[in-house]
Structure 1
């Protein structure tokens, strides 16, 4: 038996169990299929990027002006695009306005200057004191010794504790130790002083070489700088005026004369460590040979220039004295025994009289008062030009006056 169809219009049979167009809606119309990109959930409006940036710059008090500009721009974009972030933009604008007000108060009261000074001091902590050639400064407590983290740069025209004449960097690697750093700094700084103060006679007798060096602590922070400086050996005494006299302040005649004088200074500084000829005759003979060669070059340099009229006669006299001294030093270099060496050494040394240089220096406008004689480790007195000509680099003077490095524990010397 069959079941009759329900009353009403009859639908033609369909091969699809749910109708010709798939599932049927209640009204008989097919459902719309889901298409690519359809989402069954409502997507929220995006947050405006400028609003976020406005809030961030408002929180960062160091750049409040940026947030004050971005906030209003964000509000306009939000209204036009229907985006979210109104609260962020308003908050950023308010915070930026407050930040600008605080900055204005700090500038008016000097607080900003104090703030940046503190930042700079914090950045310097553990690193080297930064000074450049030609700068003068006051040290903490007025002493060029002990731990130094900072100095005050002052004009060279007034009183000051030190004057920088050179700087250099040590080689990278493991910290070589306090003694090694001090020895290297002393040798290099003493060798560099004549390049800044070419006229040694113009350097006061109580002025010596000091230096700032790294410590093990500052070395680990990347500090490799050595700063060479002049300072007074008299405790509490100040330097006044710059000691700089080099090619930037001297004329060509003065520079040529001082270069000739430095030839002899350099040779004198190579005296043997042994003060007694009997203990090292070969070493003293080799030194005498270096003195002879330096005097020969000095005489040639003095004769090779056309000097101003007032300086010609005294310079010729100095060249002739250099020739006579060279002859004696040459004989000392050929001595067969200590007695013969002493004979010619004494004669050659006697011809290096500082007073003989006074007329030439006066004519050339250089310092004309001989400095107080000093004796270096080699036992020989100073050359006519240069108060420290025979101080051996790294010797007693270096160890006595080496300053401690900045940014760490005191350097042991």
Structure 2
């Protein structure tokens, strides 16, 4: 599978060499060598094929570089680790290998959806956690490999504990997150390739239509949740949905912008902080989302 290369045999050799060298060093160095050997042996024992990864597995990759991987080190989630498998799926787009870019595109589309089933509140993720994945190579595809493992990996400090939160959510929290995630998915999944509305009005109108539909569903879901701040957010999102519908029906670029600017502003994540606090959810806007709305 694509990502990182294995070093199982090298780790095994290192452990043996350390043990053989003990007789030639002092007591302190002997102790260090023994500890190093034990660590090396533990890493070897924890090696698992990337083809057998399961959702929930916490791991350390055997290399920092992207490339081909055959094994990784599986560790208990209460130990410091670099990544955790948070979703998986099987590629079923025909028998022919989609190509490296094709596989990446499929993973880009599916992994965010699968990851949200395991960790619905992306605001609660540790700072620096990024979505990553292991995918089939052309060679493994020929042997029947179709599995994609979606993982969160730490780009800064190591992770601690499991990222699984879905099972601990209260019904109202789950309902809020389902609607909220669908709105942002509609926004980014339908993002036109052109930067300027003038260059692709039809594409931007299609995006607006998708966001409006997602907002309608989100607003409907919020109707069953009690709370003053949730009620305020529902009113804001109702207004936003109306403006997204106006943008979707715009006759020209000028009419689109008149509706789009307030529509976009009213789904600013900062407007949901008070409702999230009321619901007992994370309240710190992720840096990447904050940057988008700050533009």
TM-score (norm 2): 0.76
> Partner of 2:3 in structure 1?
none
Distance in 1 between the 2:121 and 2:72 partners?
Answer: 27
Structure 1 Cα separation of the partners of residues 169 and 80 of structure 2:
23
- How far the C-alpha of 1:149 sits from its partner, in A, is 1.6
Give the TM-score, by structure 1 length: 0.56
Check 1:158–1:214 CA distance in 2 against 1; reply closer, same or farther (3 A cut).
Answer: same
3-state SS of paired residue (2:52): coil
Larger strand percent = 2
The structure in which a higher percent of residues are helix is 2
SS at match of 2:85: strand
8 Å CA contact 2:230–2:278 kept in 1: the answer is no
Instruction: Select the structure with the greater relative contact order (CA < 8 A; seq sep ≥ 6).
Output: 1
**Shift in Å, 1:267:** 1.6
The 1:373–1:179 alpha-carbon spacing in structure 2 relative to 1, beyond 3 Å, is closer
* 3-state DSSP of counterpart to 1:211: strand
Unaligned runs of 5+ in 1: 1-113, 383-413
Aligned to 1:262: 181
Larger radius of gyration: 1
Aligned CA RMSD, in angstroms, stands at 2.5
For structure 2, the residue ranges without an aligned partner over 5 or more in a row are 1-40
Q: Distance in 2 between matches of 1:278 and 1:328?
A: 19
Aligned counterpart in structure 2 of residue 314 of structure 1, from 229, 248, 268? 229
Match of 1:213 in 2: 135
Q: Which residue in the other structure is 1:55 paired with?
A: none
**Structure 1 residue runs of 4+, over 3 Å off?**
none
**In the alignment, which residue of structure 1 is the partner of 2:286?**
371
Of 343, 346, 357, the residue aligned with 2:258 is 343
1:4-403 correspondence to structure 2 within 5 Å? 128-141=50-63, 143=64, 145-171=66-92, 173-234=95-156, 237-246=157-166, 248-269=167-188, 270-303=190-223, 305-307=224-226, 312-374=227-289, 381=292
Aligned residue pairs total 249
Task: Decide whether the 8 Å contact of 1:144 with 1:161 is kept in 2.
Answer: no
SS of alignment partner, residue 278 of structure 1:
helix
The match for 2:19 is: none
CA distance in 1, matches of 2:132, 2:212: 32
Q: CA deviation at 1:280?
A: 0.8
